[in-house]
Every structure is written in C-alpha cells, then in structure tokens.
Amino acid sequence: MPQAVYAFVVSLMRYFFIAIIVYILVRIVYHSLREYGELRRVKHWLSDGYAKYIEFLPPYADEEGGFVLVRSNLIGRSPRCDIFIDDHSLKRRHALLYERKGEEYIRPRRKASLWINGERPPKRTASLTDGDLVRLGNVTFLFKLRRAPLEAYDEQG
C-alpha cells in the first residue's frame, strides 16, 4: 500500500479507535450500574426475607425442593443449562429465566413451547408473578416469590 494512502487510512482510524474504546467504556459502565442495581435489590429482598424460586411438579419434583433463581437461568435438556431436566419434550436449551428491574421474565427460544397458567402468552417474553404455573413442553413448574417471616438475611459470613 503506498505510503501516502496508508498514512491517510491511519489518520482516519484514529477516530475509529477512540470511538471504539469510549463505546466499550460506556457499555461496561452501563452494564456495571445495572448489575449493581440488581444486586442491591436482591440483597434488599433477602434482608426482608423474600425468596424467589421455582418448584417442579411431578414427575420432576424432587427431594431437594426448589431451584433458587439468581441472575439468569437457562432451562433445558442440555446438562450445560443452569436448570436441566432430561425430558424429550424440552429443547436442549429451552427457555431463559432472567430478572430485569425487579421483574422476573421468561423468554423461550424460537419455536419452544411455553404455557403460562394454561394460556400462551401474547408476546415471546412474558413476565411472571407469584403462583404462576408455567409449562414448558411436558414439564410444569410453579414460580414462587414468597416471604418468610423469620430471620432476615444477615450479613455475617
């Protein structure tokens, strides 16, 4: 590449590099703030005695009980999922349970089946409330956001 053209391209790229790193910085800060907000909310809930979890109905109800929901949880047939159930009606990765601004949402993958309280939700992503009965394929679970009146979550480790 002739020297003059190269010099020109390099001059142009200066702005590009600056834009990229500023974008990366802003994005990291934004996500960090969001994460920080959610962590604070979780700790708040815990200190008030709330717990957020799902309980599977038979035949997948097990002795352990419920699955606590922290950050985002992938449900599916693959062992790499956060919550995995070996049922053929489930896709390898069936749905994602995540939290946004205090609300819990469930988002199934394309063409994955989802029924909430017996109905198909209007939009692909649906929010869940305490007591919702969720069905993925042939697997059903209850979403619970409950509060126990006992000891608040204490900060001691």
Partner 1 sequence: MRDNSKKHIKAMLALFCAMFVILCVYLVYTVHAYGTRWFTSPYNVRVQAQKSSVQAGRIADRNGALLAYTRADGERTYAANKARRRALSHVVGDSYGQTIGAESMFARYLLGFDQSVADQFVETIGGQQRVGSSVMLTVDAKLCDYAYDLMDDYWGAVVLLNYKTGEVLASVSQPTFDPNYMADYISGSRALAASAMVNRVTMGKYAPGSTFKTVTLIAALRYLPGVTEREFDCDGALVFDKSSGKYLPDISVDDSDFTSEGTATAYDRGREGAQDEPAQPETAQDIYSIVRDYHSEYHGAISLMQAYAKSCNTTFARLALEIGPKRMQQTAKSLGIGDAFLFDDLLLYSSSYIKPASQFDLAWSGVGQYKDLMTPLQMCMLTAAVANDGVMMQPRMLYQVVTRDNFVRMKQSAKAYKTILSAAEAQVLQQAMLGVVKSGTGTKAQVKGYAVGGKTGTAEISANKQVNSHAWFTGFVQDDEHPLAICVILEQAGSGSSKAAPLAGKLLKRAIELGY
Partner 2 sequence: MSAMGLLGIVMLFELSAFALLAFRSEGFDPLALLFALILIAVLFLQYVCMLWISKYADRFILVIANLLAAIGMIVQYRLSPDTAFKQLILYGAGLLAMFVCVAIMHKPALFQKLNWVMILGSLGLLCVLMAVGKEHGGAKNWITIARVSFQPSEFVKLALVFVSANYLTTRRSWRGYWPSAVFAIACCGLLVAERDLGAALLIALTYLILFYIATGNVRTTLIGMGAGCMGAAASYVTFDYVRARVAIWKNPWATYETSGYQIAQGLMAIASGGAWGLGLTLGSPKAIPAYNTDYIFAVICEEFGIIFGIAVIALYLVFIIRGALLALNARDRYLMLIAFGCTSLITLQSFIIIGGVIKLIPLTGITMPFVSYGGSSLIASMMLLGILEGVAMRNGEMLEDAMDAAMEECRKEERAHAG
- Which of 1, 12, 123, 151 is close enough to bind partner 1 by CB under 8 A? 12
Classify residue 137 as left (phi > 0), alpha (psi -120 to 50) or beta: left
* Interface stretch with partner 2, choices 28-36, 83-91, 110-118, 131-139 (CB under 8 A): 28-36
Estimate to the nearest angstrom the gap between the alpha carbon of 119 and the chain centroid.
22
22 binds, among partner 1, partner 2, none (CB under 5 to 8 A by kind): partner 2
Per CB under 8 A, contacts with partner 1 among 13-72 are 15
Strand pairing report for 126-128 and 103-108 = antiparallel
The single-letter DSSP state of residue 109 is P
4 binds, among partner 1, partner 2, none (CB under 5 to 8 A by kind): partner 1
First to last CA, the chain: 62
Contacting positions for partner 1 (CB under 8 A):
3-5, 7-8, 11-12, 15, 156
